[in-house]
Structures are given as C-alpha cells and as structure tokens.
Chains A and B, each alone.
Chain A
Amino acid sequence: MSAVQDIRVITQRQLRLLTRVPEVLIFSTIQPVMFVLLFRFVFGGSISTGQPGGYVQLLMPGIFVQTVAFTLAGTASGLAEDLKKGLIDRFRSLPISQSALVVGRTLGDSMLNIVVLVVMALAGLAVGWRPSSGIVKVLIGFVFLFMFGYALSWVGIFVGLSVADARVVQNVGFIVTFPLTFLSNAFAPTTGMPRVLQYFAEWNPVSTMVAGCRELFGLKNIFGATAGSFPSENPLLMSAIYMGVIMLIFIPLSIRKYKNSSN
C-alpha cells in the first residue's frame, strides 16, 4: 500500500511543477497547436487526400502522436535536471521503494499530455477536424495516445539517466523523436519516400499509432505505402505490441539504471 502512496506523492510533485512553472504547460501546448495551424494551412491546400474533410482529418492524428512522442524528451530532461541538482540522491536515500519514484515520475509526466491533447483537440476542432466515429472510439483513440506517451516516458527515464546533462538530453530527445515522427505517415504519404525509408516508415511505431488513431477517428489510412503489410493492416494491434515491448524492455532497464545511478 505504501508504494501506492509513494507513487501518488511523486506524481503530485511532477504535476505541481506544472502549476508552479506555467511556462512549461503553456509552451508544451503552444508548440503542437502551432503545428496544427501551420500544417493545416501550409500543406493542407496542396496535399490531396481523396477523403471528405480534407487534410486536417489525416493531420490531427499525426500531430497527436508526434506530441505525445515528445514526452520522451520531457521526462528525460526533467530527470537529468533533478539528477544534476542532487535531488535524485535525496530520493534514493529515502527508505522507500525506488521503483515507486520512477513510476510516479512517468505517470506525472504523462499526465501533462492529457491537458495538451485536450487543447490540441480544441484547436483541431476550430480548424475543421471532425472525427466521425463517435465518442467512444475517439476516447479509445486518446487512451492509446496516452499509453503511447506513457511507454515513451520510460524510454525517457533511460535516456535521462544515460546522458545526464539536461541540455544534451534535450538534443538527444529531439534526435530520437524527430526522425521517428517524420519518417512516418504522420504528415505526408510514405509513397513518395525511397523504398528503404518506406519500409522503415511502415514498421515505425509512430506510423502504426497514427494509422490506428485514424482508424479510431473514422478514417481510412491512405498514407501507407506497402499496403497489405501486417502493420498497415493491423495498426492498433501492432501499436499495442510496440507499447508492450517498449515497456517490457524499458521498465526493468530504467528501474535498474535508476537504482544504480549515481551522480
């Protein structure tokens, strides 16, 4: 029971940071909203989708996934910062379950995504996003998005502990997440990419997440190249598998690294 308490205390701490430094929340919201507006109005006119509602319908799931993917960088740099300041040492000198500390941290960081996703959804609705699948499926889509962010937050723990310099971590986070989000079906059809990249994009977890969300929001995923491949046929299943694998690998790995971490 006490582990649950510890998780709650640390989750609260992560969330309280958001209220104490509103800039974090503001800027983590402004950026995706900016992406929505830019992509909607810059590319929206020139990419034909052949589906009702136009580009913005396909774009929104892409930006949702891209945004939750950045949880990785957020968790990593926050952790590196605390590590540098010696705060992690203090936590580690407490007589409590050290895993609880990491779980609380990933939960708190992922919860930021709830706020960001809501604001983005509102921005999307304002510029013409209209999911057509009904509230239940849309909500399931958001649960998937939340879980994806949560899984990646565990990767963030590992990156934060491995790199340990907050500024470098920020860069590593971008280096990991940018190619992943752009070498995917999130913003443009993968059919235009060189063959090798098409395969990469097809199996990219970002693509399966985006395709899965499109499905849940009532769209056909027409941005895939190698139609008929397993990930493009079963994007939700594939996304679930990816999340499971990420967590199976990174939860034990990150917790072990955390326990053995030293400044």
Chain B
Amino acid sequence: MKSVIAESLVKTYKNGEVKALNNLSLDVEEGTVLGVLGPNGAGKTTLVRILATLLKPDSGRASVGGIDVIKNPDKVREIIGLSGQYAAVDEILTGYDNLVMFGELYHLGKKQAVARAEELLERFSLTDSAKRPIKTYSGGMRRRLDLAASLIVRPKVLFLDEPTTGLDPRGRLEMWGVIEDLVKGGTTLLLTTQYLEEADQLADEIAVIDNGTVIARGTSDALKKQVGGEKLEIVVNAENLMKTQEIVARVTGNKTTIDEGLRLISAPVTLGSNALIETLRELDSAGIHPLDVGLKRPSLDDVFLTLTGHAAEVKEEAK
C-alpha cells in the first residue's frame, strides 16, 4: 500500500514567476523510507509543506495514509509528524515544557502528556537537559527535541525536511542514528535532503528532484547503475604512469583516463574484482608498486551530475 501519493503537483510563487513544483508525482510505500534528494530551490520544502497540509498546491492531488490532504487536512494532521528545516520548538520554554505543551495540544491529557514527554526525552538522550530552555541547546539537541515533538502521537507517516542541514558532523551522525532507530519501528518516512550520502544512508528509495520535478527514482544502487558501472582507480609514482596505463588498458580492454596531477589512472571495468586482481598481478611482475588502488562505484554526486547535467548546485531557495 502507498502511504504517500503525490500526483502532478504544481505550485508557483510570486504570481507564477517562480515554479516551485512543476508537475511533480511520487509515492512512498508503507513502512519504507523515501529520500527526496535535490539542491536548494529544487522544491523539496514546498513538497513537504503541501503533504503536511501547510500549503495548498495550485493543481494536482496528494494523499497521506489514504486521506486527501487538500479536502481533509484535519484528518491528515492526526496521522502525520513533521519536523522542518528549523527546530520549530519554543526556544524560551524548556524541552520538557515544549513536549508537554505539544502533548496537550494533541489532546493526550496532562498526565499522559507528561508521561510521553519523559519517555521521549529519555529516548532522545535529552533527560539531563529537560529543564533547560531550548535556547541553551546545541543544534543537534534542538533537532532531536524537534523530532521528539513530531513523534508525540506516534505518527503513521513522518516528514523530515532536511533534518541535518546546519548540523556539525557529530550532530549529523547522532541524528542519523535516531532516524535509523525510528525507521526500524516501521514508520513510513519521507525525508528531504541535499546531502547525497544522507539519502544513501537512510533511504530505501531515492527520488532525485530538480526544478520542481522528479528526474530519477530508484534504490541508491539502481541510480548508481544508471550512471555506469564500477571504475578501477590506481595511483602510482609519476615515472610509472605510462607503464601502468598500458597494463590497465590491456587488462580491462577499455579506454583509460589519466589525471597527471593526481597521478591517477582510471578505467571502467565490468568484472571489477577480477580486473583488480589481474591488474595488481601484472603491476607486481612489472615491479610497479601502486600507492593507492581501488574499485570505485559512482557516488550520488556522480548520479546527480549525470542526471541534471549540473552539479548539485545551490540556487536561491524559493519560499
């Protein structure tokens, strides 16, 4: 069953001048994680805001958990959790106060709201700072609290809009751990990100969007295949460059490229490990000792470049 369906969504801003979503369609299978990957301004936030009932599309349809987001926003709100790019919690209140407040607004009742707040603080390792105002929290702690706030009623579908943007590497790793745990529990998750490795790490499937439309869709592996197979890469001393190139060309039977600055020789390979072993054997008998050697699968950066013709560049975010 599809938990999230978006069909031909169009959204323009500034009287049609800025097209944030351009006929965008996608869906998320129940219990899976879809990573929506795209540069700033690609339309990720607009998509999430429409699915989370915060924004109405100009045209198109969308449903979450089988409920139409345009016709029945109140019902949708009962089953979703949303955590945005900014930690949308009350900075002045403490972590504990925030969670109790949101719990009460979800109509849990005071007692249950308190119990749930304590449970979530514990789960996100925030118990020690529960009684401190949010403004004293680190970026990572804020995001965790924000995520906790979106989990109060155990949403069926969770939307995370760039959950780690602006976090330092440690905060990002912590957040990833938290999200991975969450997904194990079977929550359907739509996650937007501009970090290719984040989509790779967290998502079952990835939808690449650019200029408001989905330009590719598939598992991380499938997307990488779309760009091409593995590459053999060998770094050697400058004096061995030509000789090595010869060997690589002979073993792989493919065209090689040389980066003289990096002293790197690379060539596409079909049976990667065989080619690797064979090449090393040949190099050894030629008395060449490579400085670095490896098989490289294309990164999602390569995917993006191939699909869009441009790198994951940063455009002005359409608001």
Binding site for B on A (CB under 8 A): 2, 5-6, 9-10, 12-13, 16-17, 20-21, 82, 85-87, 89-96, 262-263
Q: Is the CB of A262 within 8 A of B105?
A: no
Q: A92 to B49: give the CA distance in the assembly, Å.
A: 11
Most chain A beta carbons < 10 A, residue from B77, B80, B319: B77
Report B-chain residues with C-beta under 8 Å of the C-beta of A6: 105
* Pair A85/B91 contact, Cβ less than 8 Å: yes
User: Which of B49, B54, B88, B106 has a CB less than 8 Å from the CB of A87?
Assistant: B88
Kindly supply a per-residue 1/0 record for chain B positions 102-145, scoring 1 wherever the CB is within 8 Å of any chain A CB and 0 otherwise.
Answer: 10111100000000000000000000000001000000000000
A17-B92 contact given A93-B54, A93-B80, CB 8 Å threshold: yes
User: A83 to chain B: closest CB distance in Å?
Assistant: 10
A94:B77 contact, CB within 8 angstroms: yes
- Is there an interface contact between B101 and A13, defined as CB atoms closer than 8 Å? yes
* Cross-chain contact B74 with A85 (CB below 8 angstroms): no
Least CB separation from A261: chain B residue: B54
Contact with B107, one of A5, A82, A86 (Cβ below 8 angstroms): A5
| Pairwise interchain contact B84-A13, C-beta atoms closer than 8 A | no
11 further interface pairs, Cβ-Cβ under 8 Å (given A6-B105, A9-B105): A2-B107, A5-B107, A16-B93, A17-B92, A20-B92, A85-B91, A87-B89, A87-B90, A90-B88, A95-B77, A95-B106
- Across-interface contacts of A96 in B (CB, < 8 A): 105-107
Which residues of A have CB within 8 Å of B269? none
> Which residues of B are found within 8 Å of A2, using beta-carbon distances?
107
Residue of B nearest to A87 (CB): B88
**Minimal beta-carbon separation of B106 from chain A (angstroms):** 7
Q: A5-B104, A9-B101, A96-B105 are in contact. Are A90 and B92 (CB under 8 A)?
A: no
Please tell me if the beta carbons of A93 and B107 are within 8 angstroms of each other in the complex. Answer: no
* Bound Cα distance from A16 to B75, whole angstroms: 30
Which chain B residues border A12 with CB–CB below 8 Å?
A: 101
A-contacting residues, B62-99, CB 8 Å: 74-75, 77-78, 80, 82, 84-93, 97
B271 contact set on A, CB distance < 8 A: none
Residues of A within 8 A of B52 (CB): 93
Report which B residues bind A (CB closer than 8 A): 49, 52-55, 74-75, 77-78, 80, 82, 84-93, 97, 101-102, 104-107, 133, 149-150, 319
- Chain A residues whose CB sits within 8 angstroms of the CB of B84 once the complex forms: 86, 89-90
List residues of chain A with CB within 8 A of the CB of B54. 89, 92-93, 262
Q: How far is the CA of A10 from the CA of B80 in the complex (A)?
A: 21
**Among B90, B101, B102: residue with most chain A CB under 10 A:** B90
Instruction: Indicate which residue in B78, B86, B87 contacts A95 across the interface (CB closer than 8 Å).
Output: B78
Give every chain B residue within 8 A of A262 (Cβ-Cβ).
49, 54-55
Residue in B80, B82, B87, B133 whose CB lies within 8 Å of A20 = B133
CB distance from B36 to the nearest CB of A (A): 18
Q: What is the bound-complex CA distance between A20 and B88, given in angstroms?
A: 18
Sample (19) of A-B pairs whose CB atoms are under 8 Å apart: A5-B107, A12-B101, A16-B97, A17-B92, A20-B133, A85-B88, A86-B84, A86-B86, A86-B87, A87-B88, A90-B82, A90-B88, A93-B52, A93-B53, A94-B77, A94-B102, A95-B78, A95-B106, A96-B105
| Complex contacts, A263 vs chain B, CB 8 Å | 319
Task: Please measure, in the bound complex, the distance between the C-alpha atom of A263 and the C-alpha atom of B53, giving whole angstroms.
Answer: 13
Chain A, Cβ-Cβ closest to B78: A95
**How long is the Cα–Cα vector from A94 to B103 in the complex, in angstroms?**
10
Closest 5 pairs (CB-CB, A-B): A86-B88, A95-B77, A90-B88, A95-B78, A86-B86
User: How many whole Å from B277's CB to the nearest CB in chain A?
Assistant: 54
Which among B86, B97, B105 has the highest number of chain A CB atoms within 10 Å? B105
CA–CA, A9 and B55, complex, Å: 25
User: Which single residue of chain A is at the shortest CB-CB distance from B94?
Assistant: A20
Q: Check A89–B82 contact: CB distance below 8 A.
A: yes
- Contact between chains at A9 and B82 (CB < 8 Å): no
- Measured CB to CB, the closest approach of chain A to B160, in angstroms, equals 13
Q: What is the bound-complex CA distance between A21 and B92, given in angstroms?
A: 7
Q: How far is the CB of B65 from chain A (nearest CB, A)?
A: 13
Q: Give A80 to B93 CA distance when docked, in angstroms.
A: 17
Contact for A94 among B85, B87, B105, CB less than 8 A = B105
Assembled-state Cα–Cα distance A93/B89 (Å): 13
Closest residue on chain B to residue A96 by CB atoms: B105
Contact yes or no, B106 A94, CB < 8 A: yes
Q: Which residues of A contact B53 (CB under 8 A)?
A: 92-93
The CA-CA distance from A92 to B97 in the complex, in Å, is 19
Distance in Å: Cβ of A126 to nearest Cβ of chain B: 32
Alpha-carbon distance between A108 and B88 when the two chains are bound, in angstroms? 20
For the complex formed, measure the closest distance between the CB of A163 and the CB atoms of chain B, giving whole angstroms.
15
B75 surroundings in chain A (CB, below 8 A): 95
Using Cβ atoms and an 8 Å threshold, which residues of chain A touch B107? Answer: 2, 5, 96
